[in-house]
Amino acid sequence: MANESETEAGPQATHLESALEGTRTALDRAVCRAGRGIAWLIFIAMAISVAEVLARYGFNNPTSWVHESVVFLVAVIFAFGGPAALAKNRHIRVRVIYDYVSPARRRWMDVLNDGVTLLFCVAMSYAAYVMFWRSTHDPMGNWTLERSGTSWNPPIPSLIKGAILVALAVMTVQALLHFIQSLRGNGPGQREPTAPARDTAI
C-alpha cells in the first residue's frame, strides 16, 4: 500500500507535471513556475477594483490610484503571457501540413519555425528597448520617467514599457534555446510522446 506521505504528495506532483507539460528547457520550466505567481496579480486587480466600487458608490469617497493600478497589473499579466505561452508551446498554430510530413521534414519545419520566432523576438525586443528608452529619458538623455498625467501621476507608462521589454527579452532567450534544440534534432516533432502515468499503489 502507498504510504500517507506519497498519497498526499501525489496530487501536488501531478498538478506540477501538468503545469510543466510541453516545456522544452529549464528556462521554460522556470517561466511556468514564475507565471503561476504572476497570475495572482489578476486577483489583486480584482480585489482593489471591488474596493474602489465600495469606496465610490458605498461611501462616496473614490480613490485616485485604483484605475491606473489595475491597468498596470493587467498589462503585466498580458506581457508575461507571451513567455508563458512560448514556454508551454501553447501559441496558436496551424498543423495541417506539420502533422502529415515525415519526421525528417518535421525537423526542418521546427528549425524554420523556431528561426522565424527568434528573428521576430529579436526585432520586437529592439522595438521595445527603443520604446522603453524614450519613455525613461528626455531629449537630452537625462533619466526622466514618463508619467500618466493624472492627479496621482505615477510612472505607469514607463513601468509597463519596462515589463514589455523584460517579457520580450525572456522570449528572445527562449526562442534561441528552442532554435538550438531544433538544429540538434530535438524539436517538438522529434520528441517521443510522454507515456501516461499509471497508479501503482495497491
Which residues lie closer than 8 Å to 148 by C-beta, 6 or more apart?
Answer: 68, 154, 155, 156, 157
Cα distances (Å, whole numbers) of residue 144 to 19, 74, 126, 140, 200: 40, 24, 20, 10, 61
Task: Identify the pLDDT of residue 7.
Answer: 45
Q: At 200, list the grid cell.
A: 501503482
Backbone angles phi, psi at 148, to 5 degrees: -75, -25
* Alpha-carbon 130 to chain mean position: 21
What would the pLDDT profile of 88-115 be if each residue is shown by its tens digit?
Answer: 887 677 777 777 878 788 888 889 999 9
Q: At 110, list the grid cell.
A: 521546427
What is the model's pTM? 0.80
Q: At 58, list the grid cell.
A: 458605498
Backbone angles phi, psi at 137, to 5 degrees: -135, 140
What would the pLDDT profile of 145-202 be if each residue is shown by its tens digit?
Answer: 999 988 899 999 999 999 999 999 999 999 999 999 988 887 676 654 444 444 433 3
Which residues lie closer than 8 Å to 72 by C-beta, 6 or more apart?
Answer: 156, 159, 160
